[in-house]
Amino acid sequence: MEDKLRKDVEAVVAKIFSEKEEADIRRQTEEALSKSAATIEELTDTLEARNIEFEELETKLSETEFKVTDYESELEAAREEIEDLTQKLEESKNTLEEMKKDRAAELRMKELTEAGVVSDTEAQLLKVREMSDEDFTSYKDELVSIREAVIAELSKNEKEEAETEDASTKDTKEEAEETEDSEENEETAEEEQEEMSDDTSGEEIAPANIDPGKAISAALNMEIFPPEDMVNKYREMGKAMADSFVKDND
Distance CA 165, CA 171 (A): 10
Q: Which range (8-17, 44-53, 210-219) has the least confidence?
A: 210-219
Rounded to the nearest integer, the mean pLDDT of the chain is: 72
- Better-predicted residue by pLDDT, 25 or 119: 119
pLDDT given at position 133: 92
Locate the domains of the chain by residue range: 1-59, 113-249
pLDDT higher than 50, residue 200: no
What is d(CA 57, CA 63) in angstroms, rounded to the nearest whole number?
10
pLDDT at 97 over 70: yes
Residue 225 and residue 142: Cα distance in Å, rounded?
Answer: 7
At 170 the pLDDT is: 64
Closest of 110, 149, 145, 102 to residue 126, by C-alpha: 102
CB neighbourhood size of 121 (10 A): 13
Total-model pTM: 0.44
In 3-state terms the chain splits into helix, strand, coil percentages (rounded to 5) of 90, 0, 10
Rounded CA gap, 114 and 130, in Å?
Answer: 20
